[in-house]
Amino acid sequence: MTFLKINNLDIEYQTRKETIYASKNVSFTLKKGEIIGIVGESGSGKSTIANAIINLVDKPGKITNGSILLDETEICNNEEVIRSIRGKKIGFIFQDPQTSLNPLFTIRDQLVETIQTHTDLNYEKAIEKSIKLLTEVGIENSDKRINDYPHQFSGGMRQRVVIALAISCEPDLLIADEPTTALDVSIQFKILNLLKKLTVDRNLGILIITHDMGVIAEITDKVLIMRHGKIVEYGKTLNVLSKPNSIECKSLVMSIPPTNKKISRFKYLSPEGKQIIDSSLNLTKNIIKNWGIRELSNKKILDFKNVTKIFDEEKILSIREPEDKIKALDNVSFNIFEGESFGLVGESGSGKSTIAKIICGLLPPSKGEIKFENLSLFDPKNKMKIKEFRGQIQMIFQDPYSSLNPRFKIKNIISEPIKFFQKNIDNYSLNQNVNDLIDIVGISRTSLDRFPHEFSGGQRQRISIARALATKPRLLICDEPTSALDVTIQAQVLNLLKDLQEQLNLTILFISHDLPVIRQMCDRIAVLKKGTICEINQTENIFINPKHMYTKELLRLMPKIKSIN
Amino acid sequence: MIPQIIKTFLDSDIGYSFMKSKVAIISSVIFFTIVLVSLLAVIISPYNPFDPKNVSLMDAFTPPIWSVGGSVDFLLGTDQQGRDMLSTMIYGSQISLIVGFSSIIFATFLGVFLGVTSGYLGGRYEIIVMRLTDVQLTIPSILMALLVDGIARGFISKSLHDDMAIYVLILAIGISEWPQFARITRAATLVEKNKEYVLASKIIGLSDIIIMLKHILPNILRPILVIATIGLSQAIITESTLSFLGVGFPPTNPSLGTLIRFGNNFLFSGEWWITFFPAIFLVILALSINLLGDWMRDALNPKLKVR
Amino acid sequence: MFNYFLKRLLQSFLVMLIVAFVAFSLFNFVGDPVHNMVGQEASEETREQIREKLGLNDPVYTQFFKFVSNASNGEFGLSYELRRPVSLLISERLPATLELVLVSAFIAIFFGIFFGVYTAINREGFVSNLILISSLLGVSLPTFVIGILFIYLFSVILGILPSFGRGEVVNFGFWSTGFLTLSGIKALILPSITLSLFQMTYIIRLVRAEMMEILQTDYIKFARARGINNKVVNNRHALKNGLIPVITITGINVGTLIAFSIITETVFQWPGMGLLFINAVQFVDIPIMSAYLFMVAFLFVMINFIVDIAYYFIDPRIRFRDEVTIE
């Protein structure tokens, strides 16, 4: 039974320079008991459509055309009607459970308030119902926990509370805007299962908005692929993912890292639909000449031995609250060999970023030793030597928006490290050097005089790579380098990293929470859990034949998508 | 060169928001006019009010030109000593602006230095600096300025104090304002120092001084500029308040506050203009700076940015 | 909970100790206390006697300890200028200042919050813009100019309110109050409004900024998406969160009001501590200066301690900081 019908919906954003369509001619329908996914890259307008349904489009956006029918009632732009429907017929779930609950009210206050807004239940009945709801979404001891404040719940539990609030007045439609993006894989799995169960138990229609193809593959019946405010493909999820029609959709699906095998490079399509295999092969010549030829030796380049890190900054009358006394790393050991790419995988709080920071010298270890070749990196005796060695280890960070100094031109961002290590370099060779670096990461030389804010996330990440290569590093640490990027951009950046590694004989330490990405990038993997290593093995062994319980669990929860490459 | 700078300014988002805001344009015109006039006081003002040959007790208490008894020679009337009100005001605003700018520059340097270093270096040094600002924030700025002034009086004689009033006031106001700068720069530094571009610089091996000067400082200039603007109007108000209370500039070298202080004595006898004009002038000056600061806060706040 | 209180108490104590040190240094190192007490004519012998009597020959830490123990008993010695015990001078004038500050604080906080919330919710309205423009004017008007304008308008031109003094006061033991007589209340009107205006405009702008930020948060959007009506969202959800920073400001606010009462008291010749202090600054009357500093800091620290305690009960995030469940 179709109960939500959207026809020719147009939403515009008027900006200083132009009008942007967040939605252009969007039409689709939703039945009860059905889950529809809207997927698209950032800026594709997917969230705006969700907000338009409940008439909460952020200013200065406005709906300029189209209709939204809920049970044959026109609700588009109809604040009068929509106010009685919000929360009652349509429930809404936001992305970040940390911020979607009012911190000063107990869960009970917020549930009872919502229930009493839409029904005639008295206070006792409303509490009774709230407790039932909390139990339904999987909160234990719900009769006690109902009196707690939001910050007393963990992230996943909070999202359950949010879901309880969203379904508290028996809505027909649930709109979930990136409901699991802020959560770890294992918790994401549980929340998705809960949503699936609710559609069956309550005959709900769910509209789920996400950028994550894994979520789409896992839970939706139908999918709507959006790009620049337009629908590029709409159909049964299975069909769309295995036999996409449009070029945009094809290139999107081809960019998804496959979970079932390792491919050598991602392929992508030109706007005309031709396959491109992008390579920077001929451009690296100058760099190789500059660096000198590197022999691939396969000897141990990094020795991370018995490292423990405790964050413990207790001070009397300290200004900042002391960080929780937590063992971020507990006796962690591994080696990296020259020329390989070594992966660290784990959920948030597993200590993977702490390892990166220790290797780079940003944090000292509490116990243990780190050797780069044969140089102990935290031995005070080696202080001067380490300074010269710093350039050999470089890092690429997660957030492309904060990893470049916004006040520096691209030219200065790349030349700063060169000048630091070659104090006497003349202007000509400096420019030559900067040009070579910007060439190999695939950014045009005309960009050198521009500032970071003029570039997209993917381009910025390329610039970060150029900066990291400026010191002629041998070990490149990549800390979630693509997790903030859209999937097609991610594919390009990963290809670039692979090309560079091959041609420049780099050693890579690749850190990610994303198993499919790790599978594509790494030769060997260490699985981390709460500061300890569960298992280290060849990538294929880990994926085909995991030994440790935790690894098995992670693989089981990983959303599975077959590659069409 | 200069047209180039103006052009880039107008092209930028801030320039756009400036040209769109009537309030910003008007207030900046008023502010820069006052600054210009007071800088060129020697040329522009009708008389030099401190030159005895221009001052005659015969002219005392002349009302402004449009009132009965007004004179074409004194547009805004004269004070109790026969000095031309307009001229004393122009010279007075010069003093107020010099003290305002100097004390804010002093406070900015001190506060920003302590804020950036304490935020970036952390450790015991940070605790000491922040405790110090806490304690000083316990003492409201006007009280702090009064105390510094009082202490200065304890060390130098009365006549010397009159001569050195300008330095004492700059010091007193500067010392009373720096904790604000320290707090805000420290908070901004704490945010910047954990951003990845700073970490990248650390990994390259750049020294702390270079990172603070070249990377962090340029990125926290915006909030500093905003509080410096608002602080400037506060400093001018504090100076005039101190002068009004009788611990600022002496009557021989009056700032706007001193003029109001003496004019206040004649309020009841009907010579309202001696108080009124300097007071209005002071309010317009402070208001134009505050409006400018207010616009700046909105325009420079990335959170409120309109696309 | 006990730890929280203890930590705050310790912090307050530390601040007081530092202020005491400043006051002590003021007392000991600015000018020559002996010279200030006996003048130039006294012989070297009398000077030495006084020096010994005042304990000025003791080691500095002994002097400091003595100073602190005297200060905590309210003993600050004799005024150089008025030749009377400072403690007596202060306690005579304390009620006048405190009554003025109390009334002003009430006006500033009440109207500040009210207008702040109003302008945040009705962002484009005519009244909102009027309030905002006047608030900016309020920040730009120095307190003494406001006072002078009020006197000129209400005393000189209209002649309905007194321009100076406290009116008639009623004495209860050491406390003298102006609240109980008509002339006392009339005399309070202009000074208290004058004093409160600057703080009020400050609070308006703070509350407005805070409310506007909160109205953008996810939990407000989520509340709206649940169909809770606008009034409840604004007055219940947003207001409660918006008032938390106001509590902090209230603490600082009262301290600032005490300091700014110096100006108001000068303009209106209000017989409070501020007037005493400003005379002391002009005559370098160090005992009064250091005692006043000590008093103001003490009141300020006390209020902030109370504010911190209030926080504990209002913000559950502080109360339950240690108990976060792990999934």
Question: What one-character-per-residue DSSP string does A266-325 give?
Answer: --EE-TTS-EE----GGGGHHHHHHH--------EEEEEEEEEEEE----TT-SSPPPP-
Give the pLDDT mean for B97-125: 93
Beta bridge partners of A308: A367
* Token pair 């109370």: residue: C306
Residue C36: per-residue pLDDT: 64
| CB-closest option in A319, A387, A390 to B130 | A319
Instruction: Please indicate whether residue A537 or residue C56 has the higher confidence score (pLDDT).
Output: A537
Q: How far apart are CA A527 and CA A541, in angstroms?
A: 12
Q: How far apart are CA A364 and CA A362, in angstroms?
A: 7
Q: Cα–Cα–Cα angle for C222, C226, C230, nearest 5°?
A: 85
Residue B1: per-residue pLDDT: 65
Interhelix angle B85-121/B123-138, nearest 10 degrees = 150
Kind of pairing between the strands at A475-479 and A393-396: parallel
Counting Cβ atoms within 10 Å, is residue A240 exposed (0-12), middle (13-18) or buried (19+)?
buried
Spatial CA neighbour of C213 closest among C123, C131, C126: C123
**Is the predicted pLDDT of residue C176 greater than 70, yes or no?**
yes
Give the pLDDT mean for C70-83: 78
**Is the predicted pLDDT of residue B70 greater than 70, yes or no?**
no
The answer to whether the Cβ–Cβ distance between A15 and B307 falls below 8 Å is yes
CA distance A86 to chain C (A): 4
Residues of A in contact with C217 (CB under 8 A): 99
Instruction: Please indicate whether residue A160 or residue C316 has the higher confidence score (pLDDT).
Output: A160
* Contacting A residues, span 384-403, partner chain B, CB-CB under 8 Å: 387, 390-391, 393-395, 397-399, 402-403
pLDDT-derived band of residue C247, with 50, 70 and 90 as boundaries? confident
- Helix (H) / strand (E) containing B43: helix B41-44
Collapse the DSSP code of A223 into the 3-class scheme (helix H, G, I; strand E, B; otherwise coil) and give the result. strand
Q: Which chains, if any, share at least 3 CB pairs under 8 A with chain C?
A: A, B
CA distance B306 to chain A (A): 8
For C282-303, the pLDDT digits (tens) are: 777 888 888 888 888 888 888 8
B136 contacts chain C (CB < 8 A): no
Cβ-based neighbours of B230, under 8 Å, separated by 6 or more: B289, B290, B293, B297
Q: How far apart are CA C266 and CA C273, in angstroms?
A: 10
Single-letter amino acid, residue A447: S
Residues of A in contact with C223 (CB under 8 A): 102, 110
* Contacting A residues, span 104-133, partner chain C, CB-CB under 8 Å: 104-106, 110, 113-114, 117-118
Interface test with A, best of B114, B126, B196 (most A CBs within 10 A): B196
The answer to whether the Cβ–Cβ distance between C232 and A113 falls below 8 Å is yes
Residues of C in contact with B282 (CB under 8 A): 142, 145
**In this structure, what token pair is assigned to residue B166?**
């300008």
CA distance B229 to chain C (A): 13
Sign of CA dihedral A382, A387, A393, A399: positive
Spatial CA neighbour of A133 closest among A123, A143, A122: A143
Average pLDDT score, chain B: 83
Q: How far apart are CA B204 and CA B211, in angstroms?
A: 11
A155 contacts chain C (CB < 8 A): yes
Question: How many helices, marked H, and strands, marked E, lie in chain B?
Answer: 14, 0
Q: Cα–Cα–Cα angle for A335, A336, A342, nearest 5°?
A: 115
CB pairs under 8 A between B and C: 120
Residue A325: per-residue pLDDT: 58
B200 contacts chain A (CB < 8 A): yes
**In this structure, what token pair is assigned to residue C245?**
């920073």
| CB distance A510 to A544 below 8 Å | no
Residue A562: per-residue pLDDT: 64
CB atoms within 10 A of CB B269: 9
Q: How far apart are CA A514 and CA A218, in angstroms?
A: 16
Residue B77: per-residue pLDDT: 73
**What percent of chain B lies above the pLDDT cut of 70?**
90
Alpha helices (H) along chain C? 2-29, 33-38, 44-54, 60-72, 86-121, 126-140, 143-150, 182-215, 218-225, 230-232, 239-268, 273-282, 286-314, 316-319
The answer to whether the Cβ–Cβ distance between C148 and B260 falls below 8 Å is yes
The low-confidence residues of chain A, meaning pLDDT below 50, are 314-324
Residue C246: per-residue pLDDT: 79
Q: How far apart are CA A484 and CA C16, in angstroms?
A: 49
Residue C320: per-residue pLDDT: 65
The answer to whether the Cβ–Cβ distance between B219 and A406 falls below 8 Å is yes
